[in-house]
Amino acid sequence: MTTTASTTPAGTPEPSAEGLGAGEPLLAVEDLTVRFPTYDGLVQAVTGLSYRLEQGSTLGIVGESGSGKSVSSMAVLGLHDAKRTQMSGSIRLAGKEIVGMSESRLMRIRGKEAAMIFQDPLSALHPFFTVGKQLAEAYLVHNHVSRKVARKRAVEMLDRVGIPQAKNRVDDYPHQFSGGMRQRVMIAMALINDPRLLIADEPTTALDVTVQAQILDLLQELQRDFNSAIVIITHDLGVVAEMADDVLVMYAGRCVEYGPCKEILTHPEMPYTWGLLSSVPDISAAADARLIPIRGNPPSLLNPPTGCPFHPRCDHTDKVPGDLCATQLPELSAASTGGVHIKRCHLANPEEIYFTEILPEIAPDLAEELSGTTGAEEGGTSR
Amino acid sequence: MFAYIVKRLISGAVVVVLISMGVFALFWFGPRNPALPLCNIDTSNRCRPAILQAYEHNMGFDDSVVHQYGLWAKGVVVGRSMALGTESHKCPAPCLGIDYRTKLPVWKELTTKFPATLSLALGASLMYLVLGVGVGVLAARRRGTWIDKSLVTGSLLLSSIPFYLVALLASLWFTISLGLFPSTGYHPITHNPAKWFAGLILPWLVLGIWGSTSYTRFSRGSMVESLGEDYIRTAKAKGLPARKVVFKHALRAAMVPVVTIFGLDFATLLAGTIFAERIFGIEGIGKWGLDAVTVKNLPVVSTTVLVASVAVVASNLLVDLIYSVLDPRVRLT
Ligand SMILES: Nc1ncnc2c1ncn2[C@@H]1O[C@H](COP(=O)(O)OP(=O)(O)OP(=O)(O)O)[C@@H](O)[C@H]1O
Ligand code: SF4
Ligand SMILES: [Mg+2]
């Protein structure tokens, strides 16, 4: 994990973040709702999502496929077609409201203030243009320079992201690069205008493990150099553990748990997060760690479950009085550790359940080790 | 690239030679005695067996087909003198035979007919492409809206009307009733470019608008697909203006499949558009071939077949070259 200052969602903004009002973070998403009218009905892709991100820090968004991770982040760049999308709430990026912003103003923000790296680096690059052209184009839209200067900048960026012989490779086409190299090209393209915010949508999913580690290292290194904020979207809690300062867990388009990375990983309080942790192979080095997939299927976004969206798949509904889980949507509330960690669940004593039931299942030795020290650990992490 | 073009030209030439053999064989072993049409033409349909026999002998139809093909092929390269009925005609290279009716070398006629067809084809196909792709792109960008729906429905309706009807109505309406486009027909561009243009504008419009309908639907589909590609999202996320995203990034990719049908259509146009040429009085390959078929003017018929095969071979090569320009992943070796 990086040791950047002010990593909590409620932290104070960096003094260098110019153009921001006092106390305003680089990115503040407030009650964001994104819906797509389709022939089958209204797809409720994102509902009531809020989070904040400071300059220089990293937010990890996790959740299974279809939970609205990409949709919510694309909204930050205003990439949803206004005619086909119903959007409400607020997204303030560097003090400017993105929701409802005109296309011409959005154009000046995209790639300049905030840039995005997409999941599949082959399909995300245009197959018919050289990487140099695509990089230079990204630079040229936001800078009044000659093609030659833009090309030089492209070579520089390729070099920066670790493409060997960047000078010679700049005229190659995307298909002439390996998957990892293509992702480096994407990163170079995203960072070519020194954006303050970088959104990486599953940047390593298509890559093998060693390349994955290299790309993550590169992102961290570049973050230190450029002091950009990163939103990293992933299925992989390992990636989150390595990169993120804060974690936001999404389920069925909603935030279900949100807080500092360390707290979420060590004191998760929402059964869906427990499920995610249980299905990570390397959460603990223990040989007898068990992999437990979450039962059932992701919910329909056309017709989301009543009450807690996770209730059809939850193993703990019996611990909640009545049929509250099925009838009433839990509000986001402070976790028992207090502070800035919030969760969306009716359970009264989630900590106890986690340490007595869940942890021994997924990481028995870790549970043993922690059983004596839980109290001390808690005191240490509260801010 | 250069080696590839040479290779393709050679293989194209082989195809054309094979087709010429096929055409020659058909000519020879066809359902009719090849000398009979000429005899009929010369005697105003009063051909007697004695005359026919003399014709056959003079023209070498009692000789072996292989030997005669050799003579024919040699004539294409160096020219020859050719017996036609009882007379002999000079047929300079490239000799494609002597027209049964006019008794002129077919090649010479071809050089007057082909420019007419080529002019018609170039103008019409440009129209197809610009109009069809333009409307298709517009529909794709507005997909799902009433603009999209009316454009698609309109093009479907128009294309369901047979071409000859559209052409006939247009000709009746504009030329005869309204008196517009009075000089419709073909006038060589070398004589009078303005007249050339004025003569072809109506057929271009009619062929172009009618033909563009399939391009509208095709490029709409292709464009919708390419607008949904991940790299289009990337282009938007870079901050490119919509115009650049659509016309540079999306259209470039959408054109690849369109080029394929364009190649086929262009070849078809080059082989002669029978209806358009007849209705608008253009003395091109299509009309020439049709007239030749009705009187079994065999040298002309076989020449039009050859022209069509050359057109197909050439436009295929052109399509492949355009592919390689459009898509760098297509390596021409
Ligand atoms: N333009 C759209 N129109 C209709 N539905 C959409 C649209 N874009 C996304 N969706 C739907 O919204 C839901 C959330 O999609 P999103 O891409 O955000 O999921 P995700 O969390 O990124 O999943 P993954 O991990 O698979 O990338 C999905 O059910 C998807 O089908
Ligand atoms: S609210 Fe109920 S159903 Fe939802 S996660 Fe908590 S216990 Fe499970
Ligand atoms: Mg996604």
Which pLDDT tens digit goes with each residue over A179-190? Answer: 888 988 999 999
Closest approach of B221 to chain A, Cα-based (Å): 19
Q: Is the pLDDT of residue A360 over 60?
A: yes
Mean pLDDT, rounded, for B142-152: 90
Tokens of A374: 């839980």
The percentage of chain B sitting over the pLDDT mark of 70, rounded to a whole number, equals: 99
Spacing, Cα A37 to ligand 1 middle (Å): 13
Q: Which atom of ligand 1 is nearest to the CA of A74?
A: 18
pLDDT at A1: 40
Instruction: Give B19-61 pLDDT, tens digit per residue.
Output: 999 888 887 777 677 888 888 888 888 888 888 888 888 888 8
A16: confidence class by pLDDT, cuts 50, 70, 90: very low
Closest approach of A314 to chain B, Cα-based (Å): 35
What does the domain layout of chain A look like in residue ranges?
114-194, 263-382
Instruction: Give A245-283 pLDDT, tens digit per residue.
Output: 999 999 999 999 999 999 999 889 999 999 888 877 654
Say yes or no for a CB contact (<8 Å) between B230 and A138: no
Mean pLDDT, rounded, for B136-159: 91
pLDDT at A290: 59
Q: Is the pLDDT of residue A18 over 80?
A: no
A189 touches chain B (CB under 8 A): yes
B109: confidence class by pLDDT, cuts 50, 70, 90: very high
pLDDT at A342: 93
Q: Is the pLDDT of residue A83 over 70?
A: yes
pLDDT at A281: 64
Query: Which of A265, A261, A259, A262 minimizes the C-alpha distance to A277?
Result: A265
Instruction: Give B194-204 pLDDT, tens digit per residue.
Output: 888 888 888 99
Q: Is the pLDDT of residue B72 over 80?
A: yes
A125 touches chain B (CB under 8 A): yes
Mean pLDDT, rounded, for B259-279: 87
Q: Is the pLDDT of residue B298 over 80?
A: yes
Instruction: Give A301-328 pLDDT, tens digit per residue.
Output: 999 999 999 999 998 999 888 888 999 9
Ligand 2 site residues (CB inside 6 A) read A 270-271, 308, 310-311, 314, 316-317, 320, 325, 330, 345-347
The percentage of chain A sitting over the pLDDT mark of 90, rounded to a whole number, equals: 54
Residue A381 CA to residue A91 CA, distance in Å, equals: 29
Spacing, Cα A118 to ligand 1 middle (Å): 14
pLDDT at B31: 67
**CATH code that applies to domain B107-326:** 1.10.3720.10
Instruction: Give A32-75 pLDDT, tens digit per residue.
Output: 999 999 999 999 999 999 999 999 999 999 998 899 999 999 99
pLDDT at A288: 56
Mean pLDDT, rounded, for A203-221: 83
Q: What is the ipTM of this complex?
A: 0.83
Tokens of A205: 């999913």
Contact residues, chain B, for A142 at CB < 8 Å: 239
Closest approach of A279 to chain B, Cα-based (Å): 29
Mean pLDDT, rounded, for A223-238: 89
Say yes or no for a CB contact (<8 Å) between B233 and A127: no
Q: Is the pLDDT of residue B123 over 60?
A: yes
Helices (H), chain A: 69-76, 103-109, 131-142, 147-160, 166-169, 179-191, 209-226, 237-243, 261-266, 271-278, 324-327, 350-353, 359-362, 364-371, 374-381
Residue B7 CA to residue B4 CA, distance in Å, equals: 5
Q: Is the pLDDT of residue A172 over 80?
A: yes
pLDDT at A5: 39
Q: Is the pLDDT of residue A375 over 50?
A: no
A120 touches chain B (CB under 8 A): yes
Mean pLDDT, rounded, for A128-150: 95
Q: Which residues pair with A310 in a beta bridge?
A: none
In whole numbers, what is the pLDDT of chain A averaged over residues? Answer: 85
CA-atom Rg of chain B in angstroms: 24
